[in-house]
């Protein structure tokens, strides 16, 4: 069931125009990640909760970059990343569906960990397709990213 759900999400994002999945040339460099946060890891874990109602404010580009870096960012000059990978193969790619992020046009972006940058793969607001693929969960269609 879980694999089917993930496959449906990926398929929903990759359906569309002929340029989908190809780099369109728009590269957005992200601000450097912050390495010294205000909360300890333990306190952050204790306070972690899922939230399904979002403010109408756009997300700050630095905050989005921090989240992407925490997911797959490079943490070592040898190319090692924040998330472990057997044999340092890193088979996962991170994409973000953007609707309301400061200085970014709506679209689908691929995170490039080696450059700490985003590359647009599809333009336009794609939250509707993502919501449909995510079992029509309304919060997916209303999130800023």
| Per-residue pLDDT tens over the stretch 109-125 | 999 999 999 999 999 99
- pLDDT value at residue 95: 96
Report residue 4's pLDDT band, with 50, 70 and 90 as the boundaries.
Answer: very low
pLDDT of 99 strictly over 60: yes
Mean of all residue pLDDT scores within the chain? 85
**pLDDT reported for residue 37:** 86
Q: Is the pLDDT of residue 63 over 70?
A: yes
Contact 97, 110 (CB under 8 A): no
Which pLDDT belongs to residue 9?
Answer: 52
Residue 25 confidence (pLDDT): 60
> Sign of torsion, CA 50 136 104 23?
positive
Query: What is the rounded CA–CA span in Å between residue 38 and residue 33?
Result: 14
Distance between CA atoms of residues 60 and 65, nearest Å: 9
- Mean pLDDT to the nearest integer, 76-95: 94
Residue 53's pLDDT band, with cuts at 50, 70 and 90, is: confident
Residue 93 banded pLDDT, cuts 50, 70, 90: very high
| Strand residue runs (E) in the chain | 27-29, 95-98, 107-112, 117-123
């Amino acid at each position: 069931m879980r694999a089917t759900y993930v496959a449906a999400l990926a398929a929903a994002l990759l359906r569309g125009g002929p340029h989908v999945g190809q780099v369109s040339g728009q590269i957005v460099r992200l601000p450097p990640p912050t390495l010294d946060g205000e909360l300890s890891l333990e306190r952050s874990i204790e306070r972690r909760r899922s939230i399904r109602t979002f403010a109408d404010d756009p997300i700050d580009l630095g905050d989005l970059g921090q989240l992407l870096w925490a997911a797959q960012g490079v943490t070592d000059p040898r190319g090692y990343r924040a998330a472990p990978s057997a044999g340092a193969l890193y088979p996962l790619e991170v994409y973000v569906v953007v609707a309301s992020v400061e200085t970014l046009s709506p679209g689908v972006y691929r995170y490039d960990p080696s450059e700490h940058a985003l590359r647009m793969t599809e333009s336009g607001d794609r939250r509707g397709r993502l919501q449909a693929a995510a079992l029509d969960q309304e919060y997916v269609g209303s999130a800023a990213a």
